Structure 1
Amino acid sequence: MAAGSAPTPCAGEVPLQHEVLTTWTTAQGLPQNFITALAQTPDGFLWVGTMNGLVRFDGLHFQDFTRNGPPELEDDIGALVRDSGDGLWVSAFNGFFHYVHHRFVPILLHGRRHYTVQSIARTLQGGVWISSNGKVYRTQNDQLIPATLPMTVHSPQDMTVDREDNLWITDRANVYRMHLQANRLVVAATYPLPGCQLLYTSRFGTLWAGDGHHLFRFDGNSFARVHHPGLGNFVGVMVDRQHRLWMASGGLHGISRESNGHVETLTASQGLASDDARVLFEDRNNDIWIGTIAGLQRLHHGAFTTYTDIPGLAAAANQTDAAFEQSDHSIWGGTLEGGVIRFKNGQWSHFGRSAGLPPGQVRGFYNHGNMPAIAIADYGIFVFHGGRFIKMRGIPHGYVSNPVNAPDGSVWFSIQHRGLFRLQHDRVTHITAGQGFPGNFVGAISVDPHGDVWVGGARKLHRWNGTHFQNLVTAPAPILCIAWPAGGLALGTMDGLLLRTSMKRNGRMLTQKDGLPGDMILDVVGDSEGNLWIATTRVIARISRVQWQAFANGQLRHIDPEIFTEADGLKSRSLLPMNSTSALRSTDGRIWFATPKGLAVVNPHLIPEPRARAVTNTISVDDRLSLATSSITVPPGRHRLTLTYTAPASIAPEQVRFRYRLSGWDHKWINGGTAHEVSYTGLPPGSYAFQVIAIGRDGNRSLHPATVHITLQPFFWQTGWFLACMILLAAAALVEATRRLTHRRAERLSMRFQERVAERERIAYQIHDTVIQDMIGATLQLELIGFQIAEQPETSGKTLAELAGRMRETIARSRNMVSNLHSTAVTQYSLADVLRHAEAEFRLSELPHFEMRSFGLVRKVHPLIRDEVYRICREALANAFRHSQAENVTVTVSYLPDMLEVTIADNGQGMSQNLLEHGRTGHFGLRGMQAHAQRINASLTIESSPGDGTKVILRVKTSRFWHMRRKD
């Protein structure tokens, strides 16, 4: 038996060796392993300066600035300093920049972009002092203002600013306290300190100085040497929020931490990437970041503490297979061939061969007096007696597992391949099918909160009622573990987790497809809040009470468990399937796990889990990448918009889930899972707001979404004013179209009215030319017959017969006229054809000679024009044949491009001017021709004089009427 204790610096202090050390190198994305500077901006990003450029780290990915930053940032980075806002001052090997509003602004020195900054110090206002080539400058509105140094101050080596905004400078011989007066630095005090090359002001206002071998602290009057601060050789110091002093050796000694006079060191032998550490930085989660020449590391106080360095236990024997809490609240762990270990009153003890325990696998414990009884493989059960563990008699041979104390004082256990056994009053009873437990497979034994014993078999869960077992629950696979969380039931099987919120309700199987991190559940434990802690062959995880109860009741289809990794302090993520009690909840509420690399413990109430906070990372438009800003304007066109987002500085960034929406496009929040990117293509022009929230592995989410306002500019034809103009234009076009349509309808109505008028006039002319003429002739003949009857009776009969024949012709013509009242001139013939037909109508003798001529491309003429032209020409032909006594009559029809011209000429006796103006008494021919011409807007010219014949010229435009005909 051996005992010992882990070193503890002070009460409540976590030993440095128990902090979780995580390492990142070029294999994880660093541009170079030599870390030169560290800083953190308020958005949570960690900025890392290396010998080969600057990167930004969100805990998961490193982002460089080769595509959206100045080329100087790909060189050696000398310093990184926060400003008073969200920005950062960046000192590169050959340039100085201010990162503000998501872009790098070069700070020019006397108009030059390239120069070297030797030292830098932040002012209280967020600006900085810099030294370059032995001169000192201060920043003002992103410009460098020179400040004159006193003659006594030689080349500045380092600088810092105190709480009164005084500037402190060391030149390796003295330390000077200065203040600024009219761009001149005035020395307020001088403190001799030979070799001083480092000045540092802590967050608490304490001023430190160092020469690389000795550390000094300013006491208000002088720099007093600090005895035994930590490392003797150092290049950097830092005081954290708990007033602990950290020192980086920059040589062969690693780092040190001093707290209340106790100094601890961390070297490469304890996991440090290199003993040559250069930079120390504390982030907003109180984690310590270490920059070495071999990579970036983080010291984090993890949720778990894994005990691997147990006094008396060989380092190779750290595998633990069973965990147990004794009645005195001590914690016991069973190892593989290394005996057992005990944690009591903050000390570890080891019991092995010297304590009587054989080197076998420990498969369980149970309470037996002041010391537990121990089940070891096929060696049996060992109890403590006389200062040693001795083997208990009467235990059947085989692998003894899962011993459990029952309230009645009995002990239940199983033997592999032999079944279930009960030990009571030093008597062992084999439980068989006769007592309600069939088969030899025993996966788990448990006592519920009411004191009842439950045993999980191949597919059944049985409860002991005092005399025999009752089968109450059926599982789809062999049962491996049992838990009773929040009055419910959780059965871990080989194929998932069977959950019940109460024994009266049916259960539901939770498997890997539902979010379970592995189907084989080796152990399950409920904490004091009803959450489930599960161990699989792959991970250790926690399922919140809200989630597992909602799933068991059918209210949830998928769960998101918290998965714990090495970053949380685990040395191993899983347990071994050894059919033993490998997880337990101790009386103080902590959860213990027996892992292959030591006994691990977690306090569920003290898990440090910072709230997840989403930030937008980059925005790319058609693969043109830029750093995310609060707003972006995209030019017109069809673009592919890609946004990346993250949750910086999270303990488990790979488990952070995101929800996002594009306001103005997405109708609801979209579950993005663990993806860090979303793309939109073909968004219409407009204003949008992209919002994203982060949900940590513990379910805590961002208090406010990260938002990027996006404006997609339209083409001019997509703008509102263009749309308004188009609407006005369309309205005007509609009004104009309606006006024209109404006008055309009015014209058509007018034309129809004129057609009716023309029809009536045509009827009047026909009556005038036919019926009236015939009636006049008949009247004259009747008068002649009257005279003949008296004077020439024999001739009157013949005249009467002629009159009767003439009246019959008149009747026939009248009938034809009536039948054609509603018809136009012969529609199946052209104008020239109907004019040719008119010759036959008016010819009474061989004279006059008639000639018909036509010029131009013959085309169809609107019926209204054709009829009116025909009537005018018919009247002109009638006059030429009946009254002109002409020998020749010529008709010429000319089809001009937009006009029809008809000329009718004869060589007859002609007409006087009076006759042309007033016409013959009782005749309507000339007036009718003028009326017809006016109706179709035609030009009618009659040229005639006595003895010179007559020429009638008719001109009418046809394009307007032709357009009407096509529309109609």
Structure 2
Amino acid sequence: MLRDQVLTTWTTEQGLPQNFITSLAQTSDGFLWVGTMNGLVRFDGLHFRGFSQDGPPELQGFIGGLVKDGGDGLWIVTSSSLFHYEHHRFESILFDGRAHYRVETVARSNSGEVWLFFEGKLMRTDRDKLVPGRLPDGVGRVSDMAESRDGSLWIANHQTIFRMNHGALAGKYELPDCHFVYADRFGEVWAGDGHGLFHFAGNGFVPVSNPGLDNFVSITVDSQHRLWMASGGLHGVTRKTGTEIERLTEADGMASNDVRMVLEDRNGDFWLGTIAGLQRLHQGIFTSYTVANRPGGQLSQTVSIFEQKDGSIWTGTLEGGVVRWRDGRQERFDKVQGLPPGQVRGFFESGSKLSVAIADYGIFEKRGDRFTKMPRIPHGYVSMPVAAGDGSVWFYVGNRGVYRLRDGTITEFGAKDGLSERQISSLAIDGHGQLWIGGAEGLERWNGSRFERDFHVGAPVLCMAWPRDGLAVGTFNGLLLRSGASVVGRLLTQKEGLPGNMVLDLLSDDADNLWVATASAIARIDREQWKAYADGKVARIDATLFTEADGLKSRYVLPLNGVSAIRARDGRLWFATIKGPAVVDPHLERERPAQAVLDGIAVDDQHHLPSDLAVSPGQHRITFTYTSPATLAPEQTRFRYRLIGWDRDWVDAGTALEVSYTGLRPGRYKFQVMATNREGGSSPSPAQVEIELRPFFWQTKWFLVAAIFVTVGVIVEVTRRFTGRRAERLSMRFQERVAERERIAHQIHDTVIQDLIGATLQLEILGFEIADQPEKSKTSLTKLTERMRETIARSRNMVSNLHSTAVSQYSLVDVLRHSEAEFRSGPLPVFDLTSTGESREVHPLVRDEVYRICREALANAFRHANAEYVTVEVRFLPQILEVEIADDGQGMSNEVLTRGRAGHFGLRGMQAHAQRIGASLTIESAVGEGTNVILRVKTHKSLWRKNGLRRFRAGSNEGSD
């Protein structure tokens, strides 16, 4: 019945832009689209999403129509435009180049395109373009259109219904004032004038007898051929099934009696568009029945439930008697039928007679249409009667004990019978018909002759269930689970996923799933989960919670230690909720898997469509938003996501609908999100989008590679230069040593050895002269002595020439300054040394040869020139070293300048040294006018690296002083 379904309402308080619903549609992805007087929204079962950021401004105004296309898209009619929504984009449909025109009538074609009438023209969409259609002759006004399953287009114009087939007129049916036409999914065609409904019977339209409403604005034929009518006025909505008509109005919870449309979604729910909000009629997997109010309007809360052998379901209330349910209809029994107004604590059946236990009043047996109190029932708080397998009935009387009723005899049991529990909290019969008693500490079992302790719990036991290979015990502190033959149980609490610690009642279905009624919810724990938890294989469970969205009018069971849940003989499970009994068939097909959908990407609060995206360089905050089309329990849909390239594994997002990332490195990423419904069902493919974070040029791979190459190149070049310089220094040292060795060898050969050879010959001659000419030998000995002194002097001079090599740590200027001390023997001459230009290091070969030339010039100035002033000026010019030595001595004649002094080789040695280094040497002198020596030599290192050693070696063979 309609009144037994759950009616849920959404208004502007829940996110609707406006309460007047103008149109409804559901796209194939499962989203519900709602048009209002003030904008378009998409609904996922929990949240309404508008399109102010990523949609045209027309979507913020009046929405005239919504039509599902042939794919996942939607046709949207506004007050001045037509849009096609597809792949998160709104495409404006142009007419003659215009984006704005007012559509008067719209109808869906079987192909997913739409028929349109505006500005006196019939048009049809064709892939986001408008193509003209043909109107019947003489028709200038269209009030409504519909395309039937056979492809015929039906057109109403307030006077006539036209049937068009492939653009040709196929039928014409006069219906005065008829402005409404509707084609259902089964091929039937309906028409109406708002007061009368007509059905096409093959040759014409015939009136529909008693359709449900006398005035209406729209009709819908659902998947079960039931006719729905929306009044659009004061009469709500009706549903006609065969000849039975049901009506919903404001008295039944409708937001308004002015209902404009009815839409059946893919889950079989019905959405009602009213002028006061959006409503949904939901059957759910539970069917809930409402206990009618007692006379006087008093509420009757349901507290216990029982199934009679004939299939009737009995529910007990608080001070409202009992209710029998058969075929969805209820029959109340209260004080009029002999039941006092007390708490109904349970039922049992003895033979074919039903008995009811009422607290403080006793047990009442049904005889005919009345209830009669059973005699000999102990006075007190009677509760929890249960029938054992042997036909006996056990019940408990508060503060007195446990009693058994068998064959009209009542027997009391206590400590003498092994019963150790004084505070009894529950009675139950297992699958073998044996009685179990739950007390403050645990379970005791009746073995046929006495009670024996079976299982220690340590908390008051409220309920029990015996799934195969296990035991489940509900307590105040959680659910104790025991698997197999284990004698130790494991406690499941709210911390481990149980929806509430107080377990009020407990059932197992045919598949050994556990159905748990706690103080806050009704839930199911699948067999695999509770077994794994009982065996210690998992640390928590994910229970399936059932809410009003599943058909429950209430999810609460009163904690009165009664039988509030039963498993019927047909396998269905019944729960006594405070608003009436609710029944569920655990064999029903479970809900479809959840599918995640990406809603958008925000980069630093700038919104983008959920498609592949390239982001400009820089640090950004990137937010992904997602959702899932409505499932049976959208509030329990959970999400997990990962950003491939950043996250190592899936991240559990719970019920959150967005995630943000900051500090991402430049590169390519792929964001994926998956949705899982409350039963663990998830679509096999995630929703995903690729995003590229573009780098600054210095963050690119080519720049990194180039930087590496440059760094390596710099290191190599620095190393090469350092090594080259070191090698050059070593080479110069080596060249210097080689040249010095060659020069010393040359000088020794040309001077010392020659002098020694000459001395040896003189000694041989002297030997002969001593014997033959003693007097002449004295003269020869004197000459030999003088010659040996000269040899010693030349040898000292040669050793002195090694000075520059010995002091190579000094610069050329320093070496020349030190040479003054070598030659000075008196106060004169006055010596002056100056340097101009930026001093720089001179190649060792050049430096030594320059020093030798300058030393020879200074030696001449100090020893032979008799000068009073000697000046030396060292000039460091670009790539040239210039040294000028001048004195004011006696000077030299041209003959001396040309041939040198007899027995001296200084001038010729200076020229030879200059030639070795490629220098130019100029000597200017005249008798009595002093001497001026000018030396110019190139100092560029590259020249000496190429030619220095070759020139030096070539020059080292020349003589010197």
- Among 630, 633, 637, the alignment partner of 1:652 is 633
Per the alignment, do residues 871 and 923 of structure 1 end up closer, same or farther by CA in structure 2, a change over 3 Å counting? closer
- Among 667, 672, 675, the alignment partner of 1:694 is 675
Q: Which residues of 2 match residues 325-404 of structure 1 at below 5 A?
A: 325-344=307-326, 347-385=329-367, 388-404=370-386
- Among 646, 650, 657, the alignment partner of 1:665 is 646
Residue 814 of structure 1: how far off its partner (Å): 8.4
Residue 540 of structure 1: how far off its partner (Å): 1.1
Residues 825 and 867 of structure 1 are in contact (CA less than 8 Å); yes or no, is this contact kept in structure 2?
Answer: no
SS of 2:279's partner is strand
Residue 614 of structure 1: how far off its partner (Å): 1.7
Task: Provide the residue aligned with 2:438 in structure 1.
Answer: 456
Task: Provide the residue aligned with 2:48 in structure 1.
Answer: 62
SS of 1:357's partner is coil
Q: Which residues of 2 match residues 536-935 of structure 1 at below 5 A?
A: 536-606=518-588, 609-629=591-611, 631-726=612-707, 729=710, 740=721, 743-744=724-725, 746-761=727-742, 763-764=744-745, 767=748, 771=752, 790-791=774-775, 824-827=805-808, 829-842=810-823, 850-856=831-837, 866-878=847-859, 889-896=870-877, 900-905=881-886, 907-909=891-893, 925-926=909-910, 928-930=912-914, 933=917
- Among 22, 33, 54, the alignment partner of 1:47 is 33
- Post-superposition Cα deviations, 1:756-804, rounded to whole Å, max 9, x if no partner, equal 2233245347758985698699789979989999547888888787778
Q: Which residues of 2 match residues 235-246 of structure 1 at below 5 A?
A: 235-246=217-228
Residue 551 of structure 1: how far off its partner (Å): 1.2
Q: Which residues of 2 match residues 227-266 of structure 1 at below 5 A?
A: 227-266=209-248
Q: Does 1:143 align with 2:125?
A: no
1:951 and 1:784 mapped to 2: Cα distance?
A: 44
2:4 and 2:754 mapped to 1: Cα distance?
A: 137
Residue type at the aligned position of 2:909: G
2:7 and 2:417 mapped to 1: Cα distance?
A: 54
Residue type at the aligned position of 1:752: R
SS of 1:688's partner is strand
What TM-score, normalized to structure 2? 0.88
Task: Provide the residue aligned with 1:966 in structure 2.
Answer: none
Residue 483 of structure 1: how far off its partner (Å): 0.8
Task: Provide the residue aligned with 1:83 in structure 2.
Answer: 69
2:823 and 2:417 mapped to 1: Cα distance?
A: 138
Q: After superposing the two structures, state which structure 1 stretch, 234-243 or 412-421, moved more.
A: 412-421
1:552 and 1:218 mapped to 2: Cα distance?
A: 63
1:189 and 1:412 mapped to 2: Cα distance?
A: 76
1:327 and 1:314 mapped to 2: Cα distance?
A: 33
Q: Does 1:35 align with 2:29?
A: no
Q: After superposing the two structures, state which structure 1 stretch, 466-475 or 275-284, moved more.
A: 466-475
2:624 and 2:796 mapped to 1: Cα distance?
A: 96
- Among 162, 168, 171, the alignment partner of 2:148 is 162
SS of 1:378's partner is coil
Q: After superposing the two structures, state which structure 1 stretch, 68-77 or 166-175, moved more.
A: 166-175
Residue 584 of structure 1: how far off its partner (Å): 1.0
Residue 25 of structure 1: how far off its partner (Å): 0.9
Q: After superposing the two structures, state which structure 1 stretch, 648-657 or 469-478, moved more.
A: 469-478
- Post-superposition Cα deviations, 1:231-262, rounded to whole Å, max 9, x if no partner, equal 12111112222222221111111112223333
Residue 905 of structure 1: how far off its partner (Å): 4.1
Q: Does 1:121 align with 2:107?
A: yes
Task: Provide the residue aligned with 1:501 in structure 2.
Answer: 483
Residues 771 and 814 of structure 1 are in contact (CA less than 8 Å); yes or no, is this contact kept in structure 2?
Answer: no
Q: Does 1:21 align with 2:3?
A: no
Per the alignment, do residues 524 and 148 of structure 1 end up closer, same or farther by CA in structure 2, a change over 3 Å counting? closer
Residue 144 of structure 1: how far off its partner (Å): 3.4
SS of 1:838's partner is helix
- Among 170, 174, 189, the alignment partner of 1:207 is 189
Residues 657 and 673 of structure 1 are in contact (CA less than 8 Å); yes or no, is this contact kept in structure 2?
Answer: yes
1:475 and 1:961 mapped to 2: Cα distance?
A: 104
SS of 2:741's partner is helix
2:583 and 2:343 mapped to 1: Cα distance?
A: 21
Residue type at the aligned position of 2:300: N
Task: Provide the residue aligned with 2:952 in structure 1.
Answer: none
Task: Provide the residue aligned with 1:92 in structure 2.
Answer: 78
Per the alignment, do residues 429 and 924 of structure 1 end up closer, same or farther by CA in structure 2, a change over 3 Å counting? farther
Per the alignment, do residues 686 and 859 of structure 1 end up closer, same or farther by CA in structure 2, a change over 3 Å counting? closer
2:894 and 2:516 mapped to 1: Cα distance?
A: 128
1:400 and 1:932 mapped to 2: Cα distance?
A: 134
Residue 405 of structure 1: how far off its partner (Å): 2.0
Residue type at the aligned position of 1:210: G
- Post-superposition Cα deviations, 1:911-931, rounded to whole Å, max 9, x if no partner, equal 789769xx9989972465236
Per the alignment, do residues 899 and 464 of structure 1 end up closer, same or farther by CA in structure 2, a change over 3 Å counting? farther
- Post-superposition Cα deviations, 1:586-625, rounded to whole Å, max 9, x if no partner, equal 1111111111111221111126623322211222112222
Residues 340 and 352 of structure 1 are in contact (CA less than 8 Å); yes or no, is this contact kept in structure 2?
Answer: yes
Task: Provide the residue aligned with 2:950 in structure 1.
Answer: none
Residue 287 of structure 1: how far off its partner (Å): 1.6
Residues 127 and 139 of structure 1 are in contact (CA less than 8 Å); yes or no, is this contact kept in structure 2?
Answer: yes
Residues 618 and 643 of structure 1 are in contact (CA less than 8 Å); yes or no, is this contact kept in structure 2?
Answer: yes
Residue 51 of structure 1: how far off its partner (Å): 0.6
Q: After superposing the two structures, state which structure 1 stretch, 601-610 or 34-43, moved more.
A: 601-610
Unaligned 5+ residue runs, structure 1?
1-14, 964-968
Residue type at the aligned position of 1:903: E
Residues 317 and 335 of structure 1 are in contact (CA less than 8 Å); yes or no, is this contact kept in structure 2?
Answer: no
Unaligned 5+ residue runs, structure 2?
946-961
Task: Provide the residue aligned with 1:7 in structure 2.
Answer: none
1:395 and 1:728 mapped to 2: Cα distance?
A: 101
What TM-score, normalized to structure 1? 0.88
Per the alignment, do residues 275 and 865 of structure 1 end up closer, same or farther by CA in structure 2, a change over 3 Å counting? farther
Residue type at the aligned position of 1:942: T
1:122 and 1:696 mapped to 2: Cα distance?
A: 32
SS of 1:604's partner is coil
1:188 and 1:308 mapped to 2: Cα distance?
A: 52
Task: Provide the residue aligned with 1:133 in structure 2.
Answer: 119
Residue 837 of structure 1: how far off its partner (Å): 2.9
- Among 939, 942, 952, the alignment partner of 2:922 is 942
2:294 and 2:696 mapped to 1: Cα distance?
A: 79
- Post-superposition Cα deviations, 1:342-367, rounded to whole Å, max 9, x if no partner, equal 23466533322233221110111223
Q: Does 1:220 align with 2:202?
A: yes
Residue 674 of structure 1: how far off its partner (Å): 1.9
Residues 290 and 296 of structure 1 are in contact (CA less than 8 Å); yes or no, is this contact kept in structure 2?
Answer: yes
Residues 525 and 534 of structure 1 are in contact (CA less than 8 Å); yes or no, is this contact kept in structure 2?
Answer: yes
Task: Provide the residue aligned with 2:507 in structure 1.
Answer: 525
SS of 1:90's partner is strand
SS of 2:23's partner is strand
Give RMSD over aligned pairs.
Answer: 3.7
Residues 294 and 320 of structure 2 are in contact (CA less than 8 Å); yes or no, is this contact kept in structure 1?
Answer: no
Residues 614 and 645 of structure 1 are in contact (CA less than 8 Å); yes or no, is this contact kept in structure 2?
Answer: yes
Residue type at the aligned position of 1:650: T
SS of 2:592's partner is coil
2:794 and 2:909 mapped to 1: Cα distance?
A: 20
Residue type at the aligned position of 1:492: G
Residues 250 and 257 of structure 2 are in contact (CA less than 8 Å); yes or no, is this contact kept in structure 1?
Answer: yes
1:27 and 1:600 mapped to 2: Cα distance?
A: 29
Q: Which residues of 2 match residues 436-455 of structure 1 at below 5 A?
A: 436-455=418-437
Task: Provide the residue aligned with 2:263 in structure 1.
Answer: 281
